[in-house]
C-alpha cells in the first residue's frame, strides 16, 4: 500500500465532498433538523397527562413512524410506573414485528488511520497514543477465517477511519475478500453471508461501487444532531466538520441504489432527548423522499478511549434514561431493527434485549485482533474505545436461549430481495416475522451443529423444539401447510449436514 503525503491527502479531501450532493436534498436551503421546532415540541410536551401518554402508546401498535409531538411527550415522562408501561409496550411491539429473534454480528475494524480530529474518538488524527494500521487483504482473510471459522459469525459490520487508504475501492475490495473466504468447520463450511459497512460519508459515484460489491446495510451515525455541538466536537477544517455532508450520507446511498441504511447517534455528546428527536426526524426525511425509513437504528453511549479526555459529563446518560430512550425509540420507529452493542455492560444488555433486535458478540475492535493469536485481552492503543462486554458468542447465545430468545443467523431476506420498500411493508404488516421465524430456526440449528458447546447445543435444541411447536400451532393462520412441510424437511436436512437453506 503506497504511502500518502500531506499533499496527496489534502488533494483527496478536496475532491471528496460534492456540494450539489448536499444542496439537492435541502428544502428552501434548510436541512431537516429544525432545532427551534424540536425544542418547542419538547417544551410544549413537558407535562403530558398520563391518559395522553397511554393513547400514544396504543397508537404505536399501528407500526408507523410516530409524530414529533408524540415522541416529545414520551421523552418527557419521568414517572417510573408510566416509564414501565412504555417499556412493556416496547417489548410487545418488538415481539409483534420481530418475534423473539435476536441477530448477532461482529465488528471488523479494518483501519485506524483517519484524517479527522473528533474530540471523543481514539482514532482522531492528532492522538499519538494509538497504533495506526490498515489491514492488507491477506490480513482481512485471516480475520475472516477466525470470525467465520472459529467463532461462527455469519454477519459482519466492517469499520473504517476516514482516510485515502480506506477509500471506496478499498472497502469494496474488503467486502469481496470477506465473501470469498470459506472455512471447514465441525460439520460444514464457515462463511460470512452478509457484510454491513460503517464508513465515512461518500459521494454517490463511490457508493455505487459498494452497491456493486454486495453491501448489506450502509451505516453512518450523525453522532450528534445538534448543530453547535457537532461543530464543537468536529473541527471545521476536517472532512467530518461538514455537518450536512454527513447528514445526507444515507440519502446519497439510497440514490446510489443502496436501499438498506442505518442511522445512529452517540449519546453523551448532547441532550439525549434532542438526539432521539433528531433520529426520528432523520427517519421522517428518508420516508419523505424514498418511502423507506432506516432498517436499523443504533444508540451507543460514550465510552473511554485511550489518549482522550472527556468534557461532556453534563450530557452523560444514566442507565435509567438510557433504558427509557431505547423504549421510546422502539415505539417511535417501530419497524426498525434496534442494535445494542458491547459498549454496554452485560447487565444493561440483558435488561434491554427484549426491546432490541441485534447485538454484537465476542467482539474485538483492535485492528487485527481476531487473528492475532486469537487475543483475549483488550489493548487500548489499538482500539477506538473500550468494550464493557467481552462474552464469547457461545456464552451470549446460551444466555439468550435461557431467556427464550432464538439467535438468528439468517441473511435470506437480503439475498431474496426483501430489502428497501419490500421489507418495510412486510415489517409493518408482521409478515416478515413469518419468513424470519422459519429461517431463524434453520440457521440456529446450523450454528448449533457447527459451533456450539455441548451445553449450549442442548439448551438451544430445547428452545428449537418449542419454536417448532409454536410454528405448528400457527398453521394455517401464519404458515401454509406446504411451507411447514418444507420447513420440517429442511430442518432435517440441516441436521444431516446440508447448509444455507432458507425461505
Distance CA 381, CA 366 (A): 8
Q: Which of the 8 DSSP states describes residue 24?
A: T
Give the cell for residue 257. 441504489
How close are the terminal C-alpha atoms of the chain, in Å?
Answer: 42
Residues forming beta bridges with residue 197, ordered by sequence position: 158, 218
What DSSP string describes 349-362? Answer: HHHHGGG-SEEE-S
Distance CA 148, CA 165 (A): 25
Q: Which residue has the cell 402508546?
A: 57
CB-CB contact of 361 with 392 (8 Å):
yes
CA distances (Å), 52 to each of 1, 4, 23, 48, 334, in order? 60, 59, 39, 7, 19
Angle at 272 between CA 234 and CA 313, to 5 degrees: 65
Is the bond preceding residue 59 a cis peptide, omega within 30 degrees? no
Distance CA 69, CA 73 (A): 6
Q: Which residue has the cell 436461549?
A: 401
pLDDT in tens, the chain (503 residues): 456 788 888 889 889 999 999 999 999 999 999 999 999 999 999 999 999 999 999 999 999 999 999 999 999 999 999 999 999 999 999 999 999 999 999 999 999 999 999 999 888 888 888 888 999 999 999 999 999 999 999 999 999 999 999 999 999 999 999 999 999 999 989 999 999 999 999 999 999 999 999 999 999 999 999 999 999 999 999 999 999 999 999 999 999 999 999 999 999 999 999 999 999 999 999 999 999 999 999 999 998 777 777 665 689 999 999 999 999 999 999 999 999 999 999 999 999 999 999 999 999 988 999 997 544 555 554 555 567 888 999 999 999 999 999 999 999 766 666 666 666 666 666 665 577 899 999 999 999 999 999 999 999 999 999 999 999 999 999 889 999 999 999 999 999 999 999 88
Q: C-alpha dihedral over 227, 230, 236, 241, to 10 degrees?
A: -100
User: Among candidates 468, 447, 443, which has minimal Cα distance to 456?
Assistant: 447
Give the cell for residue 452. 456450539
Amino acid at each position: 500500500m503506497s504511502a500518502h503525503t500531506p499533499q496527496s491527502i489534502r488533494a483527496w479531501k478536496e475532491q471528496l465532498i460534492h456540494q450539489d450532493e448536499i444542496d439537492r436534498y435541502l428544502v428552501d436551503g434548510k436541512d431537516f433538523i429544525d432545532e427551534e421546532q424540536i425544542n418547542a415540541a419538547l417544551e410544549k410536551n413537558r407535562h403530558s397527562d398520563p391518559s395522553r401518554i397511554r393513547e400514544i402508546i396504543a397508537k404505536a401498535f399501528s407500526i408507523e413512524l410516530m409524530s414529533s409531538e408524540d415522541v416529545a411527550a414520551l421523552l418527557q415522562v419521568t414517572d417510573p410506573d408510566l416509564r414501565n408501561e412504555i417499556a412493556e409496550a416496547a417489548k410487545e411491539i418488538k415481539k409483534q414485528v420481530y418475534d423473539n429473534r435476536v441477530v448477532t454480528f461482529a465488528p471488523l475494524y479494518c483501519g485506524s488511520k483517519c484524517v479527522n480530529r473528533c474530540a471523543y474518538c481514539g482514532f482522531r488524527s492528532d492522538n499519538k497514543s494509538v497504533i495506526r494500521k490498515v489491514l492488507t487483504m491477506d490480513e482481512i482473510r485471516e480475520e475472516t477465517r477466525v470470525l467465520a471459522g472459529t467463532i461462527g459469525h455469519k454477519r459482519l459490520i466492517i469499520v473504517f477511519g476516514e482516510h485515502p487508504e480506506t477509500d471506496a475501492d478499498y472497502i469494496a475490495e474488503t467486502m469481496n475478500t470477506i465473501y470469498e473466504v470459506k472455512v471447514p468447520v465441525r460439520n460444514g463450511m464457515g462463511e460470512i453471508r452478509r457484510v454491513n459497512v460503517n464508513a465515512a460519508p461518500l459521494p454517490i459515484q463511490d457508493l455505487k461501487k459498494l452497491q456493486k460489491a454486495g453491501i448489506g446495510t450502509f451505516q453512518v451515525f450523525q453522532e450528534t444532531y445538534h448543530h453547535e455541538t457537532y461543530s464543537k466536537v468536529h473541527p471545521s477544517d476536517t472532512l467530518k466538520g461538514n455537518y450536512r455532508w454527513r447528514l445526507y450520507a444515507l440519502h446519497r446511498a439510497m440514490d446510489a441504489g443502496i436501499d438498506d441504511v442505518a442511522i445512529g447517534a452517540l449519546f453523551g455528546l448532547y441532550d439525549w432527548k434532542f438526539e432521539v428527536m433528531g433520529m426520528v426526524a432523520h427517519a421522517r426525511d428518508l420516508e419523505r423522499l424514498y418511502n423507506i425509513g432506516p432498517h436499523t437504528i443504533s444508540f451507543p453511549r460514550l465510552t473511554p478511549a485511550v489518549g482522550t479526555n472527556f468534557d461532556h459529563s453534563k450530557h452523560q446518560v444514566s442507565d435509567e434514561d438510557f433504558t427509557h430512550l431505547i423504549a421510546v425509540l422502539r415505539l417511535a420507529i417501530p419497524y426498525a431493527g434496534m442494535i445494542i452493542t458491547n459498549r454496554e455492560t452485560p447487565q444493561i444488555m440483558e435488561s434491554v434485549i427484549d426491546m432490541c433486535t441485534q447485538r454484537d458478540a465476542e467482539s474485538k475492535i483492535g485492528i487485527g485482533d481476531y487473528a492475532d493469536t486469537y487475543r483475549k485481552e483488550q489493548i487500548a492503543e489499538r482500539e477506538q474505545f473500550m468494550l464493557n462486554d467481552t462474552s464469547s458468542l457461545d456464552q451470549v447465545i446460551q444466555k439468550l436461549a435461557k431467556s427464550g430468545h432464538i439467535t438468528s443467523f439468517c441473511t435470506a431476506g437480503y439475498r431474496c430481495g426483501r430489502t428497501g420498500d419490500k421489507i418495510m411493508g412486510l415489517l409493518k404488516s408482521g409478515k416478515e416475522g413469518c419468513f424470519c421465524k422459519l429461517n431463524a430456526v434453520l440457521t440456529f440449528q446450523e450454528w448449533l451443529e457447527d459451533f456450539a458447546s455441548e451445553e449450549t447445543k442442548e439448551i438451544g435444541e430445547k428452545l428449537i423444539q418449542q419454536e417448532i411447536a409454536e410454528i405448528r400451532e400457527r398453521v394455517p393462520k401464519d404458515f401454509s401447510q406446504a411451507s411447514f412441510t418444507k420447513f420440517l424437511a429442511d430442518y432435517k436436512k440441516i441436521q444431516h449436514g446440508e447448509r444455507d437453506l432458507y425461505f
